[in-house]
Chains A and B, each alone.
Chain A
Amino acid sequence: MPSAFSVQIFQQSLLFLIGATALAFALAPILTTILYKYKILRKAEFDYTLQGERGVKAGTPVMGGLLVIFVILIITMLFNWDRRYTYVPIGAMAISALLGAADDLLNVFGGKRRLRNIKHSLILIRIHQKWYMKIWHAVTLPWTAFRELTSIFGSKQDRGIQTHEKLFLQFVAGAITAWWVYSKLGQNWHTLWIPFDGSVDVGWLIIPIIIFFVMFTANAVNIADGLDGLVGGSLIMAFLGLAILSWMEGRTAFTPFNMTVIGALIAYTYFNVKPARFQMGDVGSLGLGTLLAINAIAINKTLLLPLLGFIFYIEIFSVILQVFFRRLLGRRLFKMAPLHHHLELIGWNEEKIVMRFWIIQAFVVIVAVWIALR
């Protein structure tokens, strides 16, 4: 059994990285051709962020994240398939990626969705001619209420998968992960590692903690995916941090697994830097956000996630703060949320934002590794 800092694991993991990069570079042109052929492209008329200089992004293929997802799936299933360790992360990533893919496709090809509000539902319960429709509207009333509640956190959507549906499916992905960690990985995973303070046994409470982090991180990565190269480059650093931590702890499955993700992301980011050949889409951002959370949880570094995914967490907190200021105080904290849009509106160009975010992310990941070593 290889131990911590094993050269053997390191060499093997580098091979995974190189293989994943090579495979991703080979698949990228094929994917680009398919995306163009089926016109899975970003449409300006549905996207209010595509103005000014950003207007050139209209017509760029979306769902480029499929490249990373496919490469991770192929390499892991062929060379790193471990029923105890890798199949659940892969499964949860696949569920989130499928959800993201459905959203991407509905955004491109789907029509406008008719969405009822509570008031509308209450009227239908009262006046609908068919009794079974009255029951249907009554039964689905809590779901409608949930939709209205979640709509305050998002911008107005009338296409694709709605916020409340995303949250539900992300909850399922989080619940699967929590079940896996709690019941399959063993007693060691019932403890929560606390930076500078060892570990604390949290028992079943690990389940809601895991669900929260999986959902939060997936959405954080999704929200940050707004500028060319931003998410790709930042994820490389986040997974590099995870790879170093797994290697330091001698985790034979997770070190090559994280290196595979880095390899795929290197090729993806090569094509995604401005001007992007394709964009990640929800398929990539939700899938990889979920994977980032699970891989941190799996090596018991859950509480390092806000540092390992620093840029993503900053971006999602900017949205939460903006909603708080807007709804409670009646004013904006940022000109626009998430943070990268605010920086664009105050005059920073896209390259400057992306480069600075990469540098910040790299530095904070180094801090995270340092904290883990303490």
Chain B
Amino acid sequence: MLSPLAEKLIDEYFNLPFPGVTGVRCPYFNNIRKRSRGQLRALVGKGTPKEIVEESKIISTQYRLGIFENDCSVCKQNLTPDDIRKFMIDHDLGIECSGFVSQVLRAHYRELKGVDFARKIYIYPPSKFLRYLISILRPIENINVQILADDRNSVAVNLGEAASGDIITMLDTHPTKKINHVMLIRDVKDGKIQYVHARTWSSEGKYGHGVMNGTIEIIFPKDNLMAQLWTEKNCNGEQNETFIEAKRAKLLQIRRLKI
């Protein structure tokens, strides 16, 4: 199991703390298309649930979008979680895979080992001075899948050794674009790896994506990850887009962070 603080944070991503509305699952947002520079963490897909809700509040207030009551203390009564998710997606609010994993691991290691995960990760060398400086000031924003999968930060482990807090990295999952993905192992029990990640599936359309749980049932312990049974949203095999993405990845590994 992850630490209670990390579990609480995951729950908050699944149920964003919007006052007066429950069940708002955090949507997916990746800054790669928008390429905002020097923006708030919550606006580049790296924010905590509280930061994301706070930013939703401010955007709703600034542009009079009617999500919150005038005093901002509570959401409007007639709003459903889907309305709020639609508002968030339309305004580029959400979390991306490495942002989600980094925030959860930060909470996990803070509670477990009393260390700041983001400060322990190798991001840029001091020789790249400007990048190095920015990564010191804004570590979470600069941690991406490649950095998590770097040998200086993590080490590959076998399927049988997988444990909570490990990550599943998928590098180069697209034939032409540089796309990577990361998932966090929440628990391993009864021969099943329970993972959580922030992702987008094409079958879910514009408004269906976000943080999601899934399992990998270990049916062939001596084989690799792709030989196991991946289940997410009651979909297996080719219906499971996470499985498809993993299949396309040039490098698929379970890695343990060197913290």
Contacts and interface: CB of A to CB of B under 8 A. Distances in A.
Interface of B: 38-41, 44, 46, 51, 54, 58, 61-64, 70-73, 137-138, 140-141
A331 B51 contact: yes
A306 B39 CA distance: 30
A105 interface: no
Contacts of B138: 328-330
State which size class the interface on A falls in: 10 to 19
Given A51-B61, A51-B64, A335 B70 contact: no
A330 B64 contact: no
B227 to A, nearest CB: 41
A53 interface: yes
Contacts of B73: 347
Contacts of A336: 58, 62
B70 A331 contact: no
A331 B64 CA distance: 22
Contact of A335 (B38, B58, B140, B141): B58
B54 A335 contact: yes
Main secondary structure of the interface of B (DSSP, over half): loop
Contacts, number: 44
Given A328-B138, A330-B141, A52 B40 contact: no
26 contacts: A48-B62, A48-B63, A49-B62, A51-B61, A51-B62, A51-B64, A51-B70, A52-B61, A53-B70, A152-B38, A326-B38, A328-B38, A328-B137, A329-B138, A330-B39, A330-B46, A330-B138, A331-B40, A331-B51, A332-B40, A335-B58, A336-B58, A345-B61, A345-B72, A347-B71, A347-B73
B71 A52 contact: yes
A42 B51 CA distance: 32
A330 B61 contact: no
Contacts of A49: 62
A327 interface: yes
Nearest to A346: B72
Given A326-B39, A327-B38, A331-B41, 17 more contacts: A48-B64, A49-B62, A51-B61, A52-B70, A152-B38, A326-B40, A328-B38, A329-B138, A330-B39, A330-B40, A330-B41, A330-B140, A330-B141, A331-B40, A331-B51, A336-B58, A347-B71
Nearest to B41: A330
Interface core residue of B63, B64, B141 (most chain A CB under 10 Å): B64
Contacts of B140: 330
Contacts of B54: 332, 335
A278 to B, nearest CB: 24
Interface in A138-191: 152
B91 to A, nearest CB: 13
A347 B71 CA distance: 7
Nearest to A335: B58
A52 B141 CA distance: 34
A326 B141 CA distance: 13
B32 to A, nearest CB: 17
Nearest to A51: B64
